[in-house]
Amino acid sequence: MSELKNDRFLRALLKQPVDVTPVWMMRQAGRYLPEYKATRAQAGDFMSLCKNAELACEVTLQPLERFELDAAILFSDILTIPDAMGLGLYFEEGEGPRFRKTVRTEQDVADLPVPNAASDLDYVMNAVRTIRAALGGRVPLIGFSGSPWTLATYMVEGGSSKDFRTIKRMMYAQPEVLHALLDKLADSVIDYLNQQILAGAQAVQIFDTWGGVLSTQHYQAFSLNYMKKIVAGLIKEHDGRAVPSILFTKNGGQWLELIAEAGANAAGLDWTIEIGDARKRVGDKLTLQGNMDPSVLYSSPAAIRAEVARILESFGAGEGHVFNLGHGIALDADPDHAKVFVDAVHELSAQYHR
């Protein structure tokens, strides 16, 4: 594999010195870019785009052509594992992901196969290899998965949910069934992420999108414990380099100290927590990633720069910060404003890395 020309993202995750704060954006390859819409139209639909290695590579690289980003992230979906378990993933226009089959009983869980990521999800690994080759060492490639809890919410509810009543009913009435499902998912995620690493992913992120809907004790028992299991099972070094991991629980700022003990290299923060306070709480235990509200991109270029400056000042001098949005970039964000954001991070952060 080619040498990395820009490794500041990986260095920041390992709390090593960098010249400027690295930056990437969750959902940086996506619907806010007109070129993405054109490629998706060419593919026909979202899953066809995910399963075509060349087109998945094309959309992964599109934001790097516009912005000076410090990382690329694999173009895929968090629900690939449940799909490989035979639940029949499809997308309703304007409704988001849906499954043809749900998982609601002990027998349903017992019947679920644990996918072999190398063969059952070979299209993902093909995309990783294709993207890694196309990057040519330009920036590192991030692989990812949904967390077991987040995957389980879609599998039990049958799609997106506003109140999560079906899975919460299972959690309270049949906790052993839910634990069996989460354990199976954790094993699947370990294999899935390790195969991504072997295929060329140089860092991995676990998206715990719905962990924040739980109480503290249930977050620990039904979400964090399974992410800990995954982190413990990950390949830690490949191709002569450490492979760092990031845990991102949306609305999880109140549990930062617990997340810091989970073994990952970094915690992703949404915008509901002040990053300076977060740094005080966890000290030098791990890197912090985040955390500008994506809606700031609706404001003026001057206001975007001011908010970037404020967050950098809040974090302060020293290492261990990866700048990101606090969640995915909005589908109607102005790409020119995203460029202002990325450029401002590099320009304004140099003073904090002397």
At residue 91, the pLDDT reads: 86
CA-wise closest residue to 338 among 124, 123, 25: 25
Q: DSSP label at 351?
A: G
Q: Do the beta carbons of residue 231 and residue 264 sit within 8 Å?
A: yes
The answer to whether the annotation marks 31 as part of a ligand binding site is yes
Structure confidence at residue 2 (pLDDT): 59
Cβ–Cβ under 8 Å, residues 182 and 148? yes
In a 3-state reduction of DSSP, which class is residue 113?
Answer: coil
Residues identified as active-site: 27, 31, 40, 77, 154
Q: Which two tokens stand for residue 122?
A: 């070979």
Sorted by where each begins, the domain ranges of the chain are: 8-352
Share of the chain above pLDDT 70, in %: 99
CB atoms within 10 A of CB 170: 20
The response to whether 327 counts as a known ligand-binding position is yes
152 annotated binding-site participant: no
Instruction: Assign domain 8-352 to its CATH architecture.
Output: Alpha-Beta Barrel (3.20)
Between the CA of residue 91 and those of 77, 102, 173, 314, what are the distances in Å?
A: 11, 15, 30, 40
Q: What is the mean pLDDT of each run of 10 residues along the chain (354 residues)?
A: 87 98 97 96 93 98 98 97 96 84 97 97 98 98 98 97 97 98 98 98 98 98 98 97 98 98 98 98 94 98 98 98 98 98 98 95
Q: Do 121 and 192 touch, CB atoms closer than 8 A?
A: yes
- Give CA torsion, residues 256, 262, 263, 265, to 10 deg: -30
DSSP letters, 17-68, are --SS--B--TT-SSTTSHHHHHHHHHHSSHHHHHH-HHHHHHHHHHHHHHS-
> Cα(132)–Cα(2) distance, rounded to whole angstroms?
9
Residue 1: the pLDDT is 47
Which residues, 6 or more positions from 99, have their beta carbon under 8 angstroms from its beta carbon?
Answer: 82, 87, 88, 89, 90, 154, 155, 158, 159
Q: What is the mean pLDDT of the chain?
A: 97
Q: What is the pLDDT of residues 179-209, one digit of tens each?
A: 999 999 999 999 999 999 999 999 999 999 9
* CB 203 within 8 Å of CB 244: yes
- Is residue 330 annotated as involved in ligand binding? no
Q: How far is it, in rounded angstroms, from Cα 146 to Cα 51?
A: 18
